[in-house]
Structure 1
Amino acid sequence: MIQNPVLPGFNPDPSFIRVGDDYYLATSTFEWYPGVQIHHSRDLVNWTLVSRPLRRKAQLDMRGNPDSCGIWAPCLSHADGKFWLVYTDVKRLEGSFKDAYNYIVTCDTIDGEWSDPIYVNASGFDPSLFHDDDGRKYFINMRWNHRGSGTGGNPKNDSFDGIILQEWDPVKGLMGPVVDLWQGTDLGLGEAPHLFKRNGYYYLTIAEGGTGYDHAVSLARSRSITGPYETHPDKHVLTARFNPESPLQRVGHGQYVEAADGSHWHSFLCGRPLPEGRYCPMGRETGLARVEWRDDWLYLEGGGFVPPMTIPMPAEKKPDLPVVHDFTMADLPMDYQWLRTPEPERLFKLTGQALRLTGRESMGSWFEQALVARRQEHHHYRAKCVVEADPQTWQQAAGLATYYNRHKFHMALVSHEEGRKMLVVCSCLGDWQTTKLTYHGRYEMPQSGPVTIGVEVRGASQQFTLNGAAVGPELDAKIITDEGGKGEHASFTGAFVGMFAHDVTGQGWTADFSRFGYWPG
């Protein structure tokens, strides 16, 4: 059966398409590099990561992008014998301006080398590309009005200026007038538009209500692509805003697909809060819902608004298994990403025996951080790394981190204190006023050879270990969530766990990681 979310861990804003018998889900990656994740499935139950298409400097350079900026809401489509990917690179989060640049890349195959980007516009974010039956193409995005009240954590504002459309040609670019399509419902914050056509109607789905617990998929239709658009009788197709007890919350932002067998599906993002409160460490994840048509309107199959956790299917769901790497391979496994930079060779290399991290800037940098990490996918998990490091000063350190952004993390690092190597446990606890580190202690450790640093996360708490023994206090894992710190509308990515090194002397000191493992449950 389908087990929601089908893409666990930080996988938001799912663009969903079918090409023959193949299904693809493209999701946002924000400040993590390479940009955009594309998963593939044949049965809608089991999904495999097959591509991160934005992996060259010409396509994407996010150095200097603030937290929760970068790649927002990609749109994947297939037409004219090739794949098209539309994406936004957002350069500012808070304040009146957004500075959101929209691009298109193409590729003949989903896992091939994608083209250099074609710049389209910067009038707003979450763009999509619609290929009409007559071959004409249309670019759709929400329009950002910087004269409005801005963001800064306030979900109710008039900077969201409706959904606009303009014809676009691969050679000529944007053409003709800008058309105001739809202002959305009274829920507000309309974004993430997707157009599709069925039975003579153009359907426009959008995400509304912000990235938090009022999120929703809303729908409108028109006989003409330029409108006017009529709002769905129930306004929304999917949302959990009326069902606060549902295990799936923050439901919204998705795309419709008709399956090869004629059944009807809609992707959606969602969050799974901890039992200890409305904290989502995995951030916004991707789910699938079966939908149905009534009177040329789309509804959740069986009624209601909240998608079920499970959907019966003929395929068997593969179990979650531990993932362990010893880094003897030639290329970094696809489990891992790093932050912002298109020049990973300055951060790490595979030596044949280990992953060697070159210490760069601090965990608080927006430019070069040597953090190689994977997504947290479960409320409960264990992770371990084997690291060999010989720091010569307290300005050099390497080890294991649970990380959300530069203001929300915990670290257990091999460093140099009082004339010898020591393990330092410290945190940044989401305090946006001072952003100071909180030190939990410095602990004796072996002075030579590799050591194993681990972490066990049990919902709202976590504990570091050194060579299998607990070290430092039990730490608050709720910090490493969307809602930690300023709250759900101030940051909206997800938790990672990974290997980190810094050298704030600027000399590029290195540390070797010979093993990393992640164990669910």
Structure 2
Amino acid sequence: MLQLQIQVVPWSEPYWIEDCPGIDPSLFFDDDGRAYITGTRENTNEDGTQGEQVIWLSEIDLVSMRLVGEKRNIWGGALKYCASPEAPHLYKKDEYYYLIIAEGGTEHYHAVTVARSKILFDDYEGFAGNPIFTHRHLGKHYPICNVGHADFVQLQNGDWYAVMLASRLINGYYKNLGRETFIAPVVWENGFPVISPGTGKIEWTYPAPKLPSKITKPTLSRDDFDGEKLGMNWVFFGTPYEEFYSVSDSKLIMRLLPRSMSPTLQKIDISKTIIDKSVPSLSFIGRRQQHINYEVSVKMLFETSSENETAGLIVMQASNHQFRLERTFEKGEQILRLIQCTSELNGYPHQPNFKAVTTEIELAKVAVSSMDIILSVIATGQDYSFYYSLPDEDVTLLYEDADARKINPEIVGGMVGTLIGMFASSNGKESQNTVEFEWFEYNGSGVKSEVVQKGEAVGKGTTYEFL
């Protein structure tokens, strides 16, 4: 019997590569085992002025983690002075080295282009058929846009595929889902790749490749927190450098940390590097929005006698673009309120000098006495309706049709998608209080959950269509 031994190697601390400019670095391993790195940089003209952006290549020593030899410019993109040639990936196929890059910028004019060379450190020859993939010619009404940043993979059966970044649109040119990963088949013709042959655009479905079957554990739409740890579909906001949650007795228990979900109350400098452990954790656990229409419900047990303490359900595109359905204490009573947080950016996209002016609006508020409460949101395109339910009571509509365009990336000025999750905060003060979540349900299939079915009389009775 064959026994397979797998050694699990932990991640190392980051290595900072000196004199390695630009963005989107990518490693390439040649047949002889030597390693190379490609990246982007601004070219320097003969007169010393800054020129166009180009793709460069250098050998890298993986023992010393240093660049070796010359950093050579190898290509400037398919179009002369093209916008943002970036995301380089090198592949070796047959007698050629192929360089796949993105150009045109990461928004609507994003594209995938290719060049090749028989010599690794040489000028790469662009393909006459470039771009080999883009959706920019389909206009702003096509439901998938911003296609680019392709990476190629060859399966064990010999088939080729490309994985790319793109965005789905929701009710106009709005991208609440952010940039997502798409896949399309690739064939090679006359020495160059053809992506999604026959149509030239990302299709909603493709035939599955003929590969050995593998049983994978499906991601559950409902989490009752029955295990000993959280599933892989849960994410944090940044790296949690302190333990603020536990899973036990079929409950997710979260501490109220001082860092606030509200940017208007935030007193913490979070502009430090991503590995600075002095940046405090945010008591947030969420999952990604994956559907244009969806509904989320969560059962929470929480009580407080402090106006600083809040906990609840949050729909968050960025730290200052969010809807918070939160439980707190105000003027001697327990309340539930819906907060809309948005900001206007001055100077975007000329980062990093833009400034944000953040405002928060209380859209709805109601007194609640029970410690147990079910919080829900139903998203139909850009219309978000918020509900709550107390023990032995029907579901009640708190606020109908909040405008989700106010928290989408077109206004935020970013590229990430929306997160829906649970949070707990003491808003600048130390607290020993905790909140318990009994279950969390995300439904993006169009089938109404049991919680929302109870409140059918107060809902809109919408017919759901999902991509």
TM range (shorter): 0.7 to 0.9
C-alpha offsets along residues 102-152 of structure 1, whole Å, 9 cap, x if unaligned?
A: xxxxxx76x7533333332451221111000111110111126899xxxxx
Q: 1:495: which partner in 2?
A: 418
C-alpha offsets along residues 221-250 of structure 1, whole Å, 9 cap, x if unaligned?
A: 111111211111122111100112433211
Instruction: Report the alpha carbon displacement of residue 416 of structure 1 after superposing the two structures with TM.
Output: 0.6
8 Å CA contact 1:407, 1:431 repeated in 2: no
- Looking at structure 1, the residues matched to 343 and 67 of structure 2 have their Cα atoms a distance apart, in angstroms, of 42
Q: 2:134: which partner in 1?
A: 239
1:219-368 to 2 correspondences below 5 Å: 219-244=114-139, 245-274=141-170, 276-303=171-198, 305-313=200-208, 323-345=221-243, 347-360=244-257, 361-363=259-261, 364=263, 366=270, 367=279, 368=281
- Tell me the secondary structure at the aligned position of residue 236 of structure 1: coil
- Going from structure 1 to structure 2, the CA distance change for 1:302 and 1:353 (only over 3 Å counts) comes to closer
- Going from structure 1 to structure 2, the CA distance change for 1:140 and 1:314 (only over 3 Å counts) comes to closer
1:98-497 to 2 correspondences below 5 Å: 113-121=10-18, 122-143=20-41, 161-172=53-64, 173-186=66-79, 187-244=82-139, 245-274=141-170, 276-303=171-198, 305-313=200-208, 323-345=221-243, 347-360=244-257, 361-363=259-261, 364=263, 366=270, 367=279, 368-432=281-345, 433-445=356-368, 447-467=369-389, 468-485=395-412, 490-497=413-420
- Looking at structure 1, the residues matched to 61 and 427 of structure 2 have their Cα atoms a distance apart, in angstroms, of 48
C-alpha offsets along residues 450-499 of structure 1, whole Å, 9 cap, x if unaligned?
A: 100111111111011111221124211123322234xxxx3011011000
1:242 maps to amino acid: H
Q: 2:459: which partner in 1?
A: none
8 Å CA contact 1:254, 1:269 repeated in 2: yes
- Looking at structure 1, the residues matched to 329 and 207 of structure 2 have their Cα atoms a distance apart, in angstroms, of 55
8 Å CA contact 2:308, 2:429 repeated in 1: no
- Going from structure 1 to structure 2, the CA distance change for 1:242 and 1:125 (only over 3 Å counts) comes to same
- Looking at structure 1, the residues matched to 44 and 437 of structure 2 have their Cα atoms a distance apart, in angstroms, of 46
- Tell me the secondary structure at the aligned position of residue 310 of structure 1: coil
Instruction: Report the alpha carbon displacement of residue 443 of structure 1 after superposing the two structures with TM.
Output: 0.8
Instruction: Report the alpha carbon displacement of residue 188 of structure 1 after superposing the two structures with TM.
Output: 1.7
Q: 1:152: which partner in 2?
A: none
Which protein is richer in strand relative to its size? 1
C-alpha offsets along residues 278-311 of structure 1, whole Å, 9 cap, x if unaligned?
A: 1122111111111222221112243553222221
8 Å CA contact 1:440, 1:473 repeated in 2: no
Q: 2:451: which partner in 1?
A: none
- Tell me the secondary structure at the aligned position of residue 405 of structure 2: helix
Unaligned runs of 5+ in 1: 1-107, 148-157
- Going from structure 1 to structure 2, the CA distance change for 1:408 and 1:223 (only over 3 Å counts) comes to same
C-alpha offsets along residues 173-223 of structure 1, whole Å, 9 cap, x if unaligned?
A: 211111112111334201111000112111111112222111111111111
8 Å CA contact 1:243, 1:306 repeated in 2: no
- Going from structure 1 to structure 2, the CA distance change for 1:354 and 1:462 (only over 3 Å counts) comes to same
CA RMSD of aligned residues (A): 2.6
Instruction: Report the alpha carbon displacement of residue 400 of structure 1 after superposing the two structures with TM.
Output: 0.3
Instruction: Report the alpha carbon displacement of residue 263 of structure 1 after superposing the two structures with TM.
Output: 2.3
8 Å CA contact 2:343, 2:359 repeated in 1: no
TM-score, normalising length from structure 1?
0.71
Structure 1 residue 516 corresponds to structure 2 residue 412: no
1:290 maps to amino acid: P
8 Å CA contact 2:114, 2:130 repeated in 1: yes
- Looking at structure 2, the residues matched to 117 and 374 of structure 1 have their Cα atoms a distance apart, in angstroms, of 26
2:435 maps to amino acid: A
8 Å CA contact 1:396, 1:505 repeated in 2: no
- Going from structure 1 to structure 2, the CA distance change for 1:164 and 1:321 (only over 3 Å counts) comes to closer
1:448 maps to amino acid: S
1:492 maps to amino acid: M
* Alignment size in residue pairs: 396
8 Å CA contact 1:372, 1:499 repeated in 2: yes
- Going from structure 1 to structure 2, the CA distance change for 1:428 and 1:301 (only over 3 Å counts) comes to closer
C-alpha offsets along residues 9-32 of structure 1, whole Å, 9 cap, x if unaligned?
A: xxxxxxxxxxxxxxxxxxxxxxxx
- Looking at structure 2, the residues matched to 402 and 144 of structure 1 have their Cα atoms a distance apart, in angstroms, of 38
Instruction: Report the alpha carbon displacement of residue 326 of structure 1 after superposing the two structures with TM.
Output: 1.8
8 Å CA contact 1:462, 1:475 repeated in 2: yes
Instruction: Report the alpha carbon displacement of residue 438 of structure 1 after superposing the two structures with TM.
Output: 1.2
TM-score, normalising length from structure 2?
0.79
C-alpha offsets along residues 144-165 of structure 1, whole Å, 9 cap, x if unaligned?
A: 6899xxxxxxxxxx89721111
Structure with more relative contact order (C-alpha pairs < 8 Å, separation 6 or more): 1
Structure with max Cα Rg: 2
- Tell me the secondary structure at the aligned position of residue 242 of structure 1: helix
- Going from structure 1 to structure 2, the CA distance change for 1:504 and 1:481 (only over 3 Å counts) comes to same
Instruction: Report the alpha carbon displacement of residue 350 of structure 1 after superposing the two structures with TM.
Output: 2.2
- Looking at structure 1, the residues matched to 54 and 315 of structure 2 have their Cα atoms a distance apart, in angstroms, of 38
Instruction: Report the alpha carbon displacement of residue 259 of structure 1 after superposing the two structures with TM.
Output: 2.4
- Tell me the secondary structure at the aligned position of residue 511 of structure 1: strand
